[in-house]
Amino acid sequence: MIYVAHPYNNNPENKKRVEHLIIKLQAKYPTMTFISPINTFGFLYDILSYEQGMDKCLTLLRACDTIILAEAWEYSVGCGMEHAHARMYGKMITYEREWI
């Protein structure tokens, strides 16, 4: 599985952007499985604390082989945490521009 890290901040436009990105990735790489924590856990944004939500995201990331850091990831605290976690766990770290 390939984890797609994308800025969110409970912004519906960011949810649409990551969905569009995964549609493009899936079309280009049909045998691969891409997963977005935004789509998996986004509906819990107002229910869980930030720490609880990130813990769920990082647990999901540990189950994946690779992380794709989407455009503007470096401006997102959550994406920064995902990047650091991927490094700590030896995940393959890639960037959106390498895939599209």
Find the domain containing 31 and state its range.
2-99
Task: Answer for the pair 95, 69: CB distance below 8 angstroms, yes or no.
Answer: yes
As for how many domains the chain has, the answer is 1
Q: How far apart are CA 81 and CA 87, in angstroms?
A: 10
Neighbour-count burial for 21-42, b at 16+ CB within 10 Å, e otherwise = bbeebeeeeeeeebbbbbeebb
pLDDT digits (tens, 9 = 90+) for 55-81: 999 999 999 999 999 999 999 999 999
pLDDT digits (tens, 9 = 90+) for 3-54: 999 999 999 999 999 999 999 999 999 999 999 999 999 999 999 999 999 9
For residue 6, is it left (φ>0), alpha (ψ between -120 and 50) or beta? beta
